[in-house]
A and B are shown apart, each in its own frame.
Chain A
Amino acid sequence: MRQSNIGWLFLTPATLILFVVGFIPFIYILYVGFFDWNTNAVDPTLRWAGLQNYRNLVFDTTFLNSLARTLVFAFFVVVSELLLGYVLARALMADRLWGRQFFRTIHTLPIVVAPIAVGATWRLLCVPGFGIVPYYLKLWFGIDYNISTNAYHAFGTAIIMDLWHWTPFVTLSLMAGLTALPKEPLEQAQIDGGNKLQIFWYVIVPMLKPVLLTTVFIRLMDALRSVDEIWMLTKGGPAEATRFIGLHIWINVFPKTDYGYGAAMSLLTLYVTIVLSWLLFVAMTGRKGGAQ
């Protein structure tokens, strides 16, 4: 490591761009959050509101429900993708599997499909009266599956759609992590007579920690901010069953032009995201010994 300010020279271009398109907008949002501002209101100017937006936010059940719903969604999605992804990664790395390269290619496919196209495709699959999913569920199992009237069905479909789209990403990065693991500790643990579960928990998990952490981070961030897919699938409905926070903010900021309130909502959401990521970071790297 060279102790020098030349390092900054290399960081400058990236920092500069992110300052303009990331930091300035952030400061602006911070500023607007203190104002009452709706360009379609009787008085379309900015009026100082102090902390009023934030005060309203704490009692806004639609907002809080939407936030809670998003957290539940993100929790389900991230946990299932991690478990599923790990199992699939191990399965794809098994030497005995015939046609491994083919399966790997197919399994990677959903990653590249645009969220908006994913939403459109799943709509084609699930929309009542047109899609094959409701039709065959009714025909074979007698289940009345309807994403435009049943809140649970819509929510469940949103989760399954996300699993379809993003589990492959988790699989790939876990495969990358598993490939890079040194062999000796594993062999040593086997010699010492550890069973599979012990080896997994005390050897693999600690060594895989950096990769696990990164993967969970990326998936959590994206799950908390997803908008396009769900917009195409259900438009946030029925009622508000799938109106996740990103979509809720978007609806308030754009169609409703409620800028001040939207800014306050955005900030609180961003805050929750950062706190969650931080807690996760501490929980995974901090107390529980291991690599550190």
Chain B
Amino acid sequence: MRRSGIASFVLWICLTILTLLPVWWMLVVSMRPRVKLYSKSVLIDNLYWDNFLAVLNSSTFLQYLWNSMVVATSNAALVCALGLLAAFGLSRYKISGGDNVFFWLITNRMAPPAVFLLPLFLLFTKWFVFGDFMLFDTKIGLILLYCVFNLPFAIWLLKGMLDGIPLELDEAARVDGATTGQVLSHVILPLARPGLAVTFILTWIFAWNEYLFAATLTSSADARTVTTALAEYVSVTGTNWGEMAAMAFLTTLPALVVLGFVQKHIVTGLTFGALKG
């Protein structure tokens, strides 16, 4: 017993090193001046912040960071609200063809994103144009668009969650004279809160990390996101590795912070209806 405990501990140390190596190397490279870039040492040799300062001093990067924040947060909130309603409908009512609707909702996540790029581009530039306003290159456009992959995911997670809440609780509340709205807000919502939190965080991270749609459907600092900044940076500057690493690190940081909040609840949130079994 004792020996296997030590063995698995050692194994986990190795695994941790493997997991951290890419992120660590990114940090190491971001802290190297140009002349030292080709050093093969894996240690941080001195604290050199110029790469970070160069990235942070460019006004567009901060603007992109803000855009990402707005888009990811609004999208996650929207997706959670709509996802909860839809999951409630699917879980608590017998809808004719409900399974088919559910499957269709999920298929939206299956398509290669490249499939949607062209029609969405046209949709955003030609069809949804109201006077001077068009969805192309707006944050609202991206917020709606990210529903394509986030909403199916949210519905899936939340449906599993709601299926796990006993139906008797609803019935009891109804016997006491609660309306459907009250059941949703006073019975379901409090019980689904951990699941909702996990859904919010995961969809937030997916939205924050999205690249292809953002790159195609935005064109100016009004709506471009950090991931596009990173990709642009790589193609424009080629091998300015130090600043690229700094930028990659800054892109990742907010998501890491967000993850920190839900670390403990993430496993309970990811049950996907396993409770019902």
A26 close to B (CB within 8 Å) = yes
B220 close to A (CB within 8 Å) = no
Per-position 1/0 for A8-21, Cβ under 8 A of B = 11110111011011
Question: A227 CA to B153 CA in the complex, in Å?
Answer: 19
Question: A291 CA to B277 CA in the complex, in Å?
Answer: 8
Question: A8 CA to B245 CA in the complex, in Å?
Answer: 48
Complex interface: stretch among A48-56, A75-83, A104-112, A186-194: A104-112
Q: How far is the CB of A257 from chain B (nearest CB, A)?
A: 9
A residues 158-179 in Cβ contact with B at 8 Å: 164, 172-173, 175-177, 179
A199 close to B (CB within 8 Å) = no
B residues 63-111 in Cβ contact with A at 8 Å: 82-83, 85-86, 88-90, 92-95, 98, 101, 105, 107-111
Question: A232 CA to B232 CA in the complex, in Å?
Answer: 11
State the main secondary structure of chain B at its contact with A: helix
Most buried by A among B109, B112, B271: B112
B196 close to A (CB within 8 Å) = no
Q: How far is the CB of B148 from chain A (nearest CB, A)?
A: 5
CB distance A18 to B123 under 8 Å? no
Question: A111 CA to B86 CA in the complex, in Å?
Answer: 26
Known: A8-B95, A121-B248. A21 touches B89 (CB 8 A): no
A residues 250-288 in Cβ contact with B at 8 Å: 250, 253-254, 259, 262-263, 266-267, 269-270, 273-274, 277
State the main secondary structure of chain A at its contact with B: helix
Known: A14-B155, A111-B205. A22 touches B108 (CB 8 A): yes
Per-position 1/0 for B203-220, Cβ under 8 A of A = 001001101100010000
Question: A137 CA to B68 CA in the complex, in Å?
Answer: 38
A114 close to B (CB within 8 Å) = yes
CB distance B272 to A98 under 8 Å? no
Closest A residue, CB atoms, query B108: A22
CB distance B40 to A7 under 8 Å? no
A58 close to B (CB within 8 Å) = no
Question: A7 CA to B38 CA in the complex, in Å?
Answer: 62
Residues of B near A18 (CB, < 8 A) are 105, 108, 147-148, 151-152
CB distance A124 to B120 under 8 Å? no
Residues of A near B117 (CB, < 8 A) are 250, 253-254
Give chain B's interface residue range (CB within 8 Å of chain A). 35 or more
CB distance A164 to B22 under 8 Å? yes
Q: How far is the CB of B24 from chain A (nearest CB, A)?
A: 10
A202 close to B (CB within 8 Å) = no
23 inter-chain pairs at a CB distance below 8 angstroms, sorted by A residue, are A1-B92, A2-B93, A2-B94, A10-B88, A14-B86, A17-B144, A22-B108, A25-B116, A98-B9, A108-B266, A109-B20, A116-B231, A117-B227, A120-B230, A124-B29, A130-B37, A130-B241, A180-B275, A246-B113, A249-B112, A253-B118, A274-B107, A277-B110
Binding site for A on B (CB under 8 A): 1, 4-5, 8-9, 11-12, 15-16, 18-23, 25-26, 29, 37-38, 40, 42, 82-83, 85-86, 88-90, 92-95, 98, 101, 105, 107-120, 122-123, 144-145, 147-148, 151-153, 155-156, 167, 180, 205, 208-209, 211-212, 216, 226-227, 230-231, 234, 239, 241, 244-245, 248, 251-252, 255-256, 258-259, 263, 266-277
Q: Which 5 A-B pairs have the closest CB atoms?
A: A7-B93, A10-B89, A25-B119, A266-B115, A114-B209
Binding site for B on A (CB under 8 A): 1-4, 6-11, 13-15, 17-18, 20-22, 24-26, 28-29, 32, 88, 91, 94, 96-99, 103-118, 120-122, 124-125, 129-130, 132, 135-136, 164, 172-173, 175-177, 179-180, 182, 207-208, 210-211, 214-215, 218, 221, 224-225, 227-228, 232, 245-246, 249-250, 253-254, 259, 262-263, 266-267, 269-270, 273-274, 277, 291
